[in-house]
Structure 1
Amino acid sequence: MGANKKVWIAFSVLIIGFLATGAFVWKRYIRTPWDEEHAYTKGLQAVVYAFPYVLNSSVRWAWSQPQKEGEPVVAPTDAINHFFHSPRLTGPQYRDGGTPNNDTAYSTTWAYVEKEPLVISVPEVGNLPGTQKPRYYSLQLAAFDSDNFAYIGTRTTGNGAGHYAIAPKGWHGKLPANVKLLAEAPTPWFLILGRTLVTSNDDFPAVAALMRQYDLQTLSDFENKVHRRPPAPPLTPVPHYKKEQLALLGNFWSIANAAMTANPPGDEDARLMRFFRDIEVGPGRDLSRLSEGMVRGLDRAVLRGLTMLPEVNQTSFGTKSVNGWKYPPRDYGRAGTHGAWLTRASLQSLGGIVANDPEEAVYIVAHADSAGQLLDGKSNYRIDFPKGQIPPVQAFWSMSLYDNTNNLVDNPLNRYSLGDRSPGLVFNPDGSLTLYVGHELPQGAAQSNWLPAPAEEFYLVLRAYLPGKSIVDQVWEPPAVVRQ
C-alpha cells in the first residue's frame, strides 16, 4: 500500500470519527427541543431575578414558627408583625445563614402593611455605659425583594425616642403630630432587621430592656392606645432553604410566583416581567400552561441557577479587591434598584438575606490570603494594622469568621469576633495591632488577639459600622491576611 493511500485512509477515518462525534454532540447537547432550551435560557435569568423572593419566603416561614418548648432559641420565632429579640449575641448555634454579626443584639420581624400605616416606636436609646458616645442602633427596613428602603437609628433619626410610620402604597391620610412618615413600603411584606450594640455580656440586660420597647402597631391602634399585634394574612409553608433543598428545588417557581403576586415588583421592572411572561414567571402567572419541554427547561434552570449563585459569592464579581480583601459593590443594599440582579441575588440576598447601605455599614470580605490561596485551618494567619490604620468608624468595627454556609463557627473560646471593643487586645510597642487567625494559637501570640478558626475552609468579614468616608469611598486599605 502506497504512502499516499495510507494517509488518505487515516484521514478518512479521522473525518468519519469527527462527523460521528459531531452528530452525537449535536443530537445530545445542541438539538435540545426548542421550547426546553428557550425556557432554560430565560429561566436561568429568571432564577437570578426571583431568588430573593424565594429565599425570603423560606426565611419568613421559618421565622414565623412558634418557639418549641424545651428547645434553645437559636433563630427568630413568631416574628410576624411582632418583634423577636435575640436572647443573647448570635453564635454558631444559629444556622439560618446571612453572616450574622456577634456585636449587636438583633430585633427582627416580618412586617405586613396593607390598609393603613404601621407605626414603629423606639425608646430613648442613649449613650454607651460610662461614656458620652451614643449607643449604636438601627432598624433596617428592606422590601421583599431584599432592597433597603428606609432606616431608623443613630445615623438617620438619632438616638432619641420617636414614632415612625410606614405607609402602604397609595395611602393618603393624616398622621398624628407625634408620628413622622418614614416611607411608603415598596411591597406589602417587608423585613425589619434591628441591631443594637452590646459592649459586653454585662451590658446585655440593659440592651434587652431597650429592645423590649421597640414596638409595632397599626396607626388606628396607636391613636386609640390599643396594644395588639397588627393583622397579617396566613402564610403557606415553604421548604427551608438550608434543610429541605430538594423540596425547594421542586417548588421554586410556584414559590417565586406566589411571592411576586403578593409583593408585586415595581413599575421599573415591568419590562422584565413582560420578558418572563412566555415562561409563566411573574405575578399572576400560571405554570400549568407550560409545555413539557418548558417545564424541563425551567427545572434545569433552577438546578444550574442555585449552584451558580454560591459560585458567584466566592469570586470577585462586582467587588473591589484590596490586599486580598473584597469591598462590596457600591450598590450593595439596593442592588435591584440599580438593575444589578446578580449582585442582588448572590451577594445581597444569598450572602446576607439583606445588606446594609454603605453609609450604614460596610462589610469587607476575605476568602483568600495575600498569595491568593483560600483560607483554611491547616494554616495560621496574621493581619497587621499599622499605627493609625485601624478601621475609621464612628460606631464600631469588628472581624468575624464564617464557614461556607455563611454561619459562625464554634470554637473553644466562644469567641466569634475581634474588634475595637474586644477586652485585653494587645497593641505592639510601635502602636500597631496584630490579629491572629488559625485553628491553633500561634506560638508567642497573645490569646486576646486570636480568632480561632476551624480545621476546614473559612472566610473573614471585616465590619465597619457608620464607616468613615475613606471606607465608604473604598479608599481605606485593609491589611493583607498573611499565611505564616
Structure 2
Amino acid sequence: MPLFQLSSWTTNTLAHETTLANASYHTIVLPNVDTLYSEALIDLSRSDVVATMPSLEAGRFYVWPFYDLYGNNFCNIGTETNSTAGKYLIKFRPSNPGCTAASGEYKGIIYMPTVYGASLLRIEVSNTSDANYVVASIQPGFRLSALPSYSPLSAPPLTQALLNGNLTTNNSPLYIMQLTARLAAYNPPEVAADVASVTFMLETAGISMTHHTYTTPSGVDLSQAFAAAQALMFGIITAPGVFESLGNGWAEITPALCGDFHSRYDVRAFIAVQAYLQLQASQALYPTFELSETLFANQTYMLQFFGKPQINGFWSLTMYDGDGFLVPNSLNRYSLNNRGNLTYPDGQLVYGDGSPADSAEDFYMLLQSTDSAVSPEWESNWLPTPAAGGAFRFYLRFYGPTDTLLDGEYTYPNLTAVAVNPPLPSSS
C-alpha cells in the first residue's frame, strides 16, 4: 500500500500541525494525542533535499522519522538516534538505505531507497499551553528544503495528478494495482535482492513495468484476489515469529520487524492498515492487547499497572473506536500517561514531585463507557470508551523504550472485566 494519504500536497516542505489531535481528527488512524505532528511528502526526482534540525530541548522527546514510498521507517533523527543539530542531506539510493555519519557540511546523510517518500515529525507536548509554546518556538526550527535542480532522475515529479489522475479511485483493488503500475518502476523494494522477484510477481499480476500500466490478466477476479491478499495479511496475527508475547495478554511485533519491514510484505501491509507510519523499535514500542480476541464493547475493564514503565521519553495508553479514531467524551480525554494526573489508590500522584522514577507501586486505570457517570475516586484514572456499546481498542506507546520493556523484567498491566464503577483497590 503506497504511503501518500497525508494532508499536504506540497512536496519537500514540512507542514506543521498546530493543534493536538482530538475526536474530530481523521488525518491518520491511531493518532497520538501527546505529540504535535509535522508532515511532508518527499520528492527526489528533481533534486536532493536538506533536512534541518534545531538543537533539541533537554527533557523533551523528539523523533523525526523518514519513510520510503511503502511505509518503511528506514531512518530516524532526534532524541534517541542522530541527535546532533544541523543539516542532514537526503539522497536517493536504491539499495542499502538508512542514516550515515557526518559528511562535510552535513551532520549525516539520509539515503532513501525510493524516489518518493514521506516524513512525520513528532514532538512531545504536555498540554495545550505547552503545545502553543512548541508551535511558536520549536516547530519553526525544523525545516525541509530542496537543493537546486540537477540532472533529474527518470521518475516524474510527485504530484496529485500522478497519484490520482486517470485512475479508478472508486475501486480500491483496481486503484491499488493501477497506482502500483504507475510508481513501481521508479520506486524499487527496500531490499535490493528482492527487485527481480518482486518485478516478476508484479508483471505476472498484470503490471507493465515499461509502460507503467495495469491490465487484469484473463481469468483473474480482482475482487477475489484482493480478499485473498487481505486474508493473508491478517493471518500474520497468528503467524510464528511476527508477534512476541509480553505477558498478561500483551504482545508486540518482534523488534526486527517493527517499523522497517524489509522483505516481510505481509507485515508491512498489516501495519499500513492497523498502525500507519509505525516507528522502529529503537524509537517506540506499541504493545497491543489480545490480538486474536475481541474485547466486549459494552464491558467495563480495569487495568492494573505493576509500577512505572521505564522509558527515556514518555508513555501513554490511548483509547480508539473500532475505526481507529479517538473517542468523543465530555472531558476530551483520549489517553492517560506519565504527564497527567494519574493517582495511586491513596490519592497521591503517580508522577508527582518526589515520586521515585522507578517506583514499583501498583496503580490502576478504569476503561468505562461515556454512557456511565464515573465515580469521583476514579475520575483521574478514567479512560472513556465509546458510547452505546461501540467497539474500541487501546494501545500502549513507549517512546524511548528501555530494554526492561522487552526482556521480561517489566510486568505488563493486567486487564480484568469489572462492574461499572468498581471499588477502588487498596494501596499495595
Structure 2 length-normalised TM: 0.80
1:397 pairs with 2:315: yes
Deviations 1:1-33 (Å, cap 9, x if unpaired)? Answer: xxxxxxxxxxxxxxxxxxxxxxxxxxxxxxxxx
- Please give the alpha-carbon distance, in whole angstroms, between the structure 2 residues aligned to 1:207 and 1:108: 15
Distance in 2 of aligned mates of 1:201 and 1:476: 31
Sequence identity percentage: 23
Q: Which of the numbers 286, 291, 295 marks the counterpart of 1:375? A: 295
Structure 2: give runs of 5+ residues left out of the alignment. 96-101, 150-155, 347-359, 419-428
Question: Is the 2:9–2:159 contact (alpha carbons within 8 Å) kept by the matching residues of 1?
Answer: no
Partner of 1:277: 203
The corresponding residue for 2:29 is: 98
- The residue aligned with 1:327 is 252
**The structure with more strand, counted as a fraction of residues:** 2
Conserved in 1, the CA contact under 8 Å of 2:182 and 2:213?
Answer: no
Equivalent residues of 1:377, 1:438 under 8 A apart: no
Residue 80 of structure 1 corresponds to which residue in structure 2? 11
Mapping for residues 272-421 of structure 1, pairs under 5 Å: 272-281=198-207, 283-284=209-210, 291-294=217-220, 296=221, 298-306=222-230, 309=233, 311-312=234-235, 318-321=242-245, 322-337=247-262, 339-346=263-270, 348-367=271-290, 374-386=294-306, 389-421=307-339
| CA distance in structure 1 between the partners assigned to 2:214 and 2:10 by the alignment | 33
Select between 322-331 and 184-193 the one with higher mean Cα deviation.
322-331
Measure, in 2, the Cα distance between the counterparts of 1:187 and 1:170: 6
Partner of 1:468: 402
Q: Which residue of 2 aligns with 1:148?
A: 73
State which of 375, 378, 382 in structure 2 corresponds to 1:446.
378
* CA pair 125-205 structure 1, distance change in 2 beyond 3 A: farther
Answer whether contact 1:96 1:407 (CA < 8 A) is retained: no
CA positional deviation for 1:262? 3.3
Residue of structure 1 in register with 2:130 after alignment = 203
The correspondence for 1:125, drawn from 44, 56, 65, is 56
Residue number in structure 1 paired with 2:393 = 459
The answer for the alignment partner of 1:426 in structure 2 is: 343
Residue 25 of structure 2 aligns to a residue whose secondary structure is coil
Higher normalized helix content (fraction of residues): 1
Shift of residue 275, structure 1, vs aligned partner: 3.6
- Cα distance, 1:316–1:365 mapped onto 2, change above 3 Å: farther
Kindly tell me: are residues 213 and 444 of structure 1, through their superposed partners in 2, closer, same or farther at Cα, counting changes over 3 Å? closer
CA-to-aligned-CA distance 1:395-425 (integer Å, 9 cap, x gap)? 1010001122222221111001101001x22
Offset at residue 124 of structure 1 (A): 2.0
How much does 1:205 deviate? Answer: 1.7
Task: Quickly say closer, same or farther: Cα 1:191–1:385, change in 2 above 3 A.
Answer: same
Give the CA deviation at 1:284.
3.6
Tell me the SS of whatever aligns to 1:212.
helix
1:435 equivalent among 365, 375, 400: 365
Change (3 A) 1:478 1:87: same
Cα-to-partner distance string for 1:326-358 (whole Å, 9 max, x where unaligned): 212323335531x22211110x22122221111
TM-score using structure 1 length: 0.71
Structure 1 pair 196–211 and aligned structure 2 pair: CA distance change class (3 A)? same
Shift of 1:188: 0.9
Cα 1:447–1:354 shift into 2, 3 Å = same
Secondary structure in 1 aligned to 2:326?
coil
Give secondary structure in 1 for the equivalent of 2:184: helix
User: Cα distance 1:286–1:471, how it changes in 2: closer, same or farther (>3 A)?
Assistant: same
1:438 & 1:101 partners in 2: Cα distance?
20
Q: How does 1:180-219 map to 2 (within 5 A)?
A: 180-209=107-136, 210-219=138-147
Post-superposition Cα deviations, 1:16-63, rounded to whole Å, max 9, x if no partner, equal: xxxxxxxxxxxxxxxxxxxxxxxxxxxxxxxxxxxx22xx24x1xxx3
